[in-house]
Structure 1
Amino acid sequence: MKNIKILLLVVSGMLIGYISLDTKAFSQTNSQDFVEYKGEVLNADNKNTIANAHISVNETNISTISNSEGKFSLKVPKGLAPATVSISYLGYLSKNLPLSYFKAKGTLIYLNPVVEELSEIKVYKAGDARKLVYNMLENRGENYINRPTEMTAFYRESISKGNRNVSLSEAVVKIHKKPYSHYGDEDIELVKARKTADYDRLDTLALKLRGGPFNTLFIDVMKYPDYLFYEQNLENYEFNFEEPTQIDNRYLYVVSFNDRNKDMPWFYGTLFIDAETQSLVRAKLNMNVDNRRAATRMFVNKKPGGTKVYPIEVEYDIDYHQQNGKWYFGYSNAKLLFVVNWKRKLFNSRYQVNSEMAVTNWQPETEDRIKRNKNFLNKTVVMADDISGFTDIQFWGSNNIIEPDKSIQNAIEKIKRNIQ
């Protein structure tokens, strides 16, 4: 048995402490209660796949997204038909299709890129990009869900060394979301989860991500603006208009920004803001981590002696979706690339951490006060190993999930062979 040393990472320096979680399946679902449809979302012009397209059943809160290779699965309750399904993605014309169009396998959905030349008169009414972002933050209580909401979400976390997956965690969780005008932190309740890790591939170091689903929840810029715009002092940032775009037939301002304070790791990125309501629809964020010492303090909690560990790439994405005139948190992901330099070793090691979470259903909270139980996660959670779920084809039941891409699917198949 190798002497495994632990490296704990913290996304965005938000979390402290350490805890281990015994992740078991807490519920069983009758597989006869739903119908599953699978397919792929493609660019109608060049047939390229479209990642992170939003697929939702109209007049319900059921939704999912396409994975990094454009593939999706959508589970809907039996008896829902007739129904229509909406498919949308930034920069493409949205499409509505009858549920009868979808097949158990091989459903192909083609989206057409937006070709309309967007009118400056329609779009550039804001004039001042900084003022637009200020209004975006000020109006979040009106533009976003303003009641306590219970969201069902699928979470996936993977860690790879080079091109090899060495750790994979997946979970269905319930997010107890507070109104966007409320500043309190939110709770996450575990429904079921599975995880495995092949520590033999990690030489003498096992890398673990701390915070689990909270890392993707805290990317919600509109709920936690201080994590991006510290103290909401927008004078510390530069804002500029870029070429506008569309989603769901709505015009979007596109605003690039960067932090003027370059002493610490600093954010830069792009905000996609609805021109009509001045709501944030999407954000693509990057963190400059050239200051290695400061970045190490922010992201690395523990490391073995004789090593230097630091991030070299940090990226975040978040999407919001609209329902009944209100926007809500829909999808987020975090991608981090770390370098480990060993003393007296010529070559370094590179580890990539990917985590993503997609809201697949939601409803208003039925209780005024949430009663916490043993299934509620600590904000410092480290997902623990529980490999048994990977052999169960019906493990997720009626829950919608993000389809695994090829690398994840290969990892799952290898896990199954090792278990059996």
Structure 2
Amino acid sequence: MAIIQSLLQGIPLPRMVKVRQKFDAPADDNVEQTLRNEIAKEAVAKKIQPGMRIAVAVGSRGLADLPVLVRVTVEELKKRGAHPFIVPAMGSHGGATADGQKEVLANLGITEKTAGCSIISSMEVIEVGRLANGLAVLIDKQAHEADGIVVIARIKPHTAFRGASESGLAKMLTIGLGKQKGADSCHAYSFKYMAKFVVDMAKIKLEQCKFLFGVATVENAYDQIRIVEAVPAEDFIKRDQELLPLARISMAKLVLNQIDVLIVDKIGKDISGDGMDPNITGRYPTPYARGGPEISKLVVLDLTERTHGNANGMGPADFTTRKLFNKIDYESTYANALTSTVCEPIRIPMILESDQQAIAAAIKTCNARELSKVRVVRIKNTLQLGEIYISEAMLSEAEQHEQLEVCSEPQLMKFDESGNLVS
């Protein structure tokens, strides 16, 4: 690696400034009580009958207050005489295994102890119909055999397609509860048709299966719940589509969106289905979604612990590190690509030996006219964007921007003896 070291020698690394991004971000200050009130609504409560065995479908995303949402839903079902249990609803995630999906839930804080009920994890599915084109509509066997199904979902823009329904209730029905085989079926003809297939398959499941209601959330720009609703099954599609525009405008973003180099500290499936959200980075895995900042070079430094080696999302990066590469679990990473049919997110970027080298390589290749004035942004991940770091060249712009508050003096990035960033 001596040649690489010599090529990167002398590349100027800018001083960085901490800034706070300020968003209009209404939040529910008592999510637990709001959810109890929502489930108590007549249109929802009347669906819960004593003695019913009810499957509560929980996905693989790190939803805000997910343990609270699950616990309260289970308690409210029990209060009305039902017998709830949890089923993982996460398509092919967790390595597409029953134990892996149960482990994903545990990493999100969902265990039998925290939820107050059993967790039954299985990859078995039942076919409940077919689309006109022959694609099978499949649902988790345990959920299908229950007396009723409740779904917990966050509504937000999808990372790979645009449509009336994107990530939310309909997608949880179609892909989450479809397990690996159901997700495989929905993805078979690519994301070009996903907007239609997600809704069409969800409608068949709503007709053929015993859905009761869904717990739907919209989060604000600070990863807090803005809205939580209990939605009767007959309103799933309608409410899913009504809340999506609100979810879109509620998302965080990078306020300064002309960027030479974006540094992302960590990616992971607990952050986004794509490891890092393309809605934030502007690097989409398909041509069926667009938007976001203009970034010349993208650096990904590490994986989250909760992703357990699933490096889905590294593909859109230009540079990564040896430490990330050494953590890759190829089986779980490749399972995602084989199910979604999109290989871009799991391609391996150029690997550098340290954070310092990866950042230097990105700066060297970003084609900025003056490397001493390079526009660098560093974020923890694509979910937490309240506080970020910007390079000194962007400071005057930040000082004049009403959505930005400068929180520190310019400081050099600090690296340990191995060349990795010190937090």
User: With structure 2 as the length reference, what TM-score do the two structures score?
Assistant: 0.29
User: With structure 1 as the length reference, what TM-score do the two structures score?
Assistant: 0.29
Q: Which has the higher strand share?
A: 1
